[in-house]
Chain A
Amino acid sequence: MAARDRTGAALAGAFVVFVAAGFFLPSWAVSLVILSLARGIVALGLVVQFRSGLVSFGQALFFAIGGYAVGLAGLKLRLTDMIVLTVIGVAAATLLGAGLGFLMRRYREIFFAMLSLGFSMLFYGLLVKTETLGSTDGFNVPAPTIFGARLSALATRTLLYDLTVAAAAGAALGVHWYLGTILGRLDTALRDNEVRVEYLGYAPGRVIHVQYVLGAALAGGAGALTAMAVGHIDPSMAYWTTSGELVFVTILSGTGSVLAPFLGSLVFGLLQTYALQYAPSVWQMILGVALLAIILYLPGGLWSALERNRARA
């Protein structure tokens, strides 16, 4: 008998704790948690792809699409409601993902990584030369409102924090449900042997397409939240190093649970904050060493270390 699934309960607990903590945390920690959870949402989408052996080296595309959708909606349409903007970010990325998915579903392994990288760099190339969007400098995103009300900066920040926590919990719950469906269970099968999945009567391309759109939607929403939290967007959001960072968080977290990417992302955020403060010149080195250590000694990511401890207890 498999262990009882406590993911739902854990998520509900974490949601309550995080929302409550929002009133106590200092402002730097609030920002850290918003950005980390948003990054975790992107990594959640990458985890789903990674389960079937696919690594997108261009997830920054959808992350940036979400961010720029928010920026443009604020700039051109005068939309500032944080919930509406998040939905716009998700919608824009989902549409693009659904379209590109028709191509991506035909690719595997290194070619999947390269084509996704190509698309993100294409968008980057477009952004850096578009002067109306501020070229390499980007532009500022207007402060978000909620239900038409413009609140104080502190209140807005807390609400954005709550929205991010809710989005993260909702995304985790949704993906957890998805992984339990037949479609979701096919992804590890795809990794093991695609031809046999075809013999079972399923279309691998369709599974990959669904995963891709899911990843795009999550990244778009996360990009929207990040853009509102930072208050500024620029083309580096779409550059390959951003994708690299997102893949890094995915590998760090592992694919053991939908909670893993958030844990991994928070660890990453804390590491980043402290490293940049105390040892800024070796920050990338710390990242690199951590990534190598995970690949060589802990291929299941941080989550597998937790599980191993639990199994021993």
Chain B
Amino acid sequence: MIVATLAFIVADGVIYASWLFIVAVGMTLVYGVMRILNVAHGSLYALGAYTAATMVGAWFQRGYAPLGSFVLLLVAALVVGLVMGLILELGLLRFLHGRDEVVVVLATYATFLILEDVIQLIWGVEARPAPQPYSLLGTTTVGPLLLNNYDLALIALALLVGGVGWWALTRTIAGKLLLAVIFDREMAEACGINVRRVFLVTFLIGSVLGALGGASTAPMISVSRGLGVDVIVLAFAVVVIGGLGSIPGALLGAAVIGLSRAAAVHLLPQAEVFAIYLIMTLVLIIRPYGLLGHERLRKV
């Protein structure tokens, strides 16, 4: 009995953590490089989810090959992320360069408000279910657990994103330049790194990841209003626990939140929301810079 409950908790926790990681890693990357805590990341998530749901719905309506819908999810994320990323970075964030961090947060909050209504104007208020891809892959039985293979694919996707991210950051020239910018923006600029271009590319990658989070979630839920609102604070919690701007931190934060939420759901359902923010607050109190973050020096 206890073993079964534990298995449920671990399975649910790992699946939820994978989802959280995909959603939050883009946010922490953007913060690490650009020092922008992007509230509109939640809107990118919602846009990705809506676009994917609509495209998948149309795909199945026309009776095309079902497996193609997975490619469609990725395409939706790419299109939404690139288009919105370009608009936001070139149209807004570029002009806020050098303003207070908190002011930039407010600007992205304004963007979030605008996009909330844009989404509603485009898709209306009805829910957009697109459940087909979720049941397409069948299920796997492991001991007492009946796992949907789509969930397993989500875990694989999270591992892939994390792995590619790690490889790109530590094994490629572009990634090393990026790390240099994260470590010291001014010094990197002085060494001849085109920081503007690094910013644009980073923001595009972050946006695509946000949209990917939404697109990969679309088949699991019924996409409806207010999707982005909850995701923002969750992603905040992940990013803060791991350490703002730390990519391994996002993985750790997602794992901590995923497992503790799963434990709360199975053992003490009343504490589901509470547990997440309790951990976030405790981490901020004990280690303000996050579990894997670095302290910033005070400047006179």
Chain A positions within 8 Å of B, measured between CB atoms, are 53-55, 57, 103, 106-107, 109-111, 113-115, 117-119, 121-122, 124-126, 128-130, 193-196, 240-241, 244, 247-248, 251, 281-285, 287-289, 291-292, 295-296, 299
Contacts and interface: CB of A to CB of B under 8 A. Distances in A.
Nearest to A129: B270
A291 B102 contact: no
Given A53-B102, A114-B284, A118-B284, A125 B273 contact: yes
Contacts of B233: 117, 121, 240
Given A113-B102, A288-B114, A291-B106, 9 more contacts: A55-B105, A109-B101, A111-B288, A125-B272, A196-B300, A284-B113, A287-B113, A289-B110, A291-B110
A254 B229 CA distance: 26
Overall SS of chain A's interface: helix
B113 A288 contact: yes
Contacts of A129: 269-274
Nearest to B282: A118
A296 B284 CA distance: 31
A110 B113 contact: no
Contact of A285 (B105, B114, B244, B275): B114
| Interface band, chain B | 35 or more
19 contacts: A53-B102, A109-B100, A110-B101, A111-B289, A126-B274, A194-B298, A195-B300, A282-B121, A284-B113, A285-B114, A285-B118, A287-B110, A288-B112, A288-B115, A291-B107, A291-B109, A291-B110, A292-B92, A299-B103
Which residue, A57, A282, A288, A289, has most C-beta atoms of chain B within 10 A? A288
A281 B236 CA distance: 27
A289 B114 contact: yes
A291 B236 contact: no
Nearest to A289: B114
Contacts of B109: 244, 247-248, 291
Given A110-B102, A113-B102, A195-B298, A121 B277 contact: yes
Contact of A115 (B100, B269, B281): B281
Interface in B249-300: 269-278, 280-281, 284-285, 288-289, 298, 300
A240 B229 CA distance: 9
A261 to B, nearest CB: 16
Which residue, A57, A111, A114, A244, has most C-beta atoms of chain B within 10 A? A114
